[in-house]
Structure 1
Amino acid sequence: MAIQQHPVPQDISNYKFRLIGDMTIKQFAALGISIVLSVMTYSAPLPFFFKYPLSFILLLLGVGTAFVPFQGRTLDVWIVAFIKSIYSPTQYIWKHGHQEVVTAPISENATPQTPIVNISAPATDTTPVTNQSTNDSTLDSKETNVPLVKGGNEGDLIQTEPIIETNNQNQPIEQQPVIQEVLNTAQPVSETITIDNLSSKIPQPDISSLPIPFTPTTPNTLVGLTLTPQGQTLDGVLVEIKNQSITMRATKSNKLGQFLFVRPLENGLYQILAEKEGFKFESYSIQLTGEIINPLRIQAI
């Protein structure tokens, strides 16, 4: 079975029906209408100097509309666009319009909302309080009731308030002895903190929380982490790898303090140097033998 070539896709949305050859229905209609109008103008009882040019213009217009496109557009499209451009505005004026803010009307029967306030229960004092004597022996009070006195002519009764007389002498207030157990419980217990306990309470950096890079899978590939003297990650550290005082690789640690050398090194002895302004690092030596190297830890001193 011979392989048939797939037909070229066509634009079916703008498909035009063709009547004679490549002439479409639109072209045929434009040409037919122009011929009919030119014949009617030629047959009309008009002066010859007006009839002949008009018939020729109508016929030429129909032929141009049907067969002479200009810049990919037919003549009728250009005529319609020209008429629209004449009647369409060419100058626009912007005016600032006042926009009214529409709010919902307030209801007459609206009830005000009362805020909800959470009141916590008052703290109760758990310290036992000794009962004070109900007898007020500290003050010698004498209450004198004044009899009712008749007013002048009106005969109204006036009752005076009772007068309390107090002694001016300050007498000592008797205090009951406080229970020793209450004093013992009320006194705060002071904890003696030694140097060992203080050092144990200082938070130490957790190594497991550091963003240690993954172990490389290629031999002689170096990755690592740069740290501050306190064990925190340090970024922007220039890490150099030298072999016989010749710089072989150089890179800087990222925001997480990680550095990575993508290209593996050859076997041999290398020196690792780190440098950052404000920090001091020691130099390290490493012997590469074609094995997987665990992530390095470079910490400032």
Structure 2
Amino acid sequence: MDQHPIPRQITTFEFKLIGFLTIKQFIYLVIFVALGLAIYGLTPIPVLNVMFGVLTASIGAAFAFIPINDRPMEVWIRNLIKRLTSPTQYGFQKQNKPISFLQDAVFSSDPHQITAHIDSQKKLGSYLGKNSPTFSVNKKQNINELLLNPLSNLTKKPTINNQSSTSSQVKHPFLTGTVKNHKFTPLGGILIYVKKSADTEPIRILKSNAHGVFLSYNPMPQGEYFFEVKDPKQTHLFDTMKFKVEDQNNQPLEIYSKELI
């Protein structure tokens, strides 16, 4: 089996145009040898002039002939200087505004759409009331009476059944409301403590759903109540509200958070 050649760095390949030297190697040797000769001639001390001259010429030879991992010395030195001068810690600073279609993408700020599930409950209740099984039960009872007493029903005058089918009444919430932030986005999981006064214990605790809606079906005595709103995650802040509860026709509450920024 033939042996494959060892992969080498070919992107920095240069042709040898001056004997066995490339142009870059020749330039390194000329510059550093000239510097070594200049240092040798300008240094007055006999021993030091030879050492500094040979050291300078050796540096040029190292740059020209000693690669490390198929990379010349200049690449290593350039990368070292770049890493030493580049910052080691970066800080993120948000400058671009958020995309418009990503804002309030989940919920709409329209309160009619937020409370749409209440209307769907009403429609479902009315549909179930129209399709109540009481009419079919009354029809079966009349058929059984005809089979048991056929003669009496022949002489009996027909009577009009004025009994109307009773539709199942839908239970409407006594008190409703929504919880939103300053962008009109509904907030879920918010606790609403209903108190008779600011210092007393809560008489009722409500919680908003994923659509920011909270409901209470149990009626409350007429009067003024304090609504203390809290966020379990402590992300949003709310003011304590004072609301007058009536026996009926209570308007839906709208609670907005108090943002810090």
Identify which of structures 1 and 2 has the higher relative contact order when contacts are C-alpha pairs closer than 8 Å and 6+ apart: 2
Please, what TM-score do these two structures have when normalized by structure 1? 0.30
More helix per residue: 1 or 2? 2
Query: Which of the two has higher C-alpha Rg?
Result: 1
TM-score computed with the length of structure 2 as normaliser: 0.34
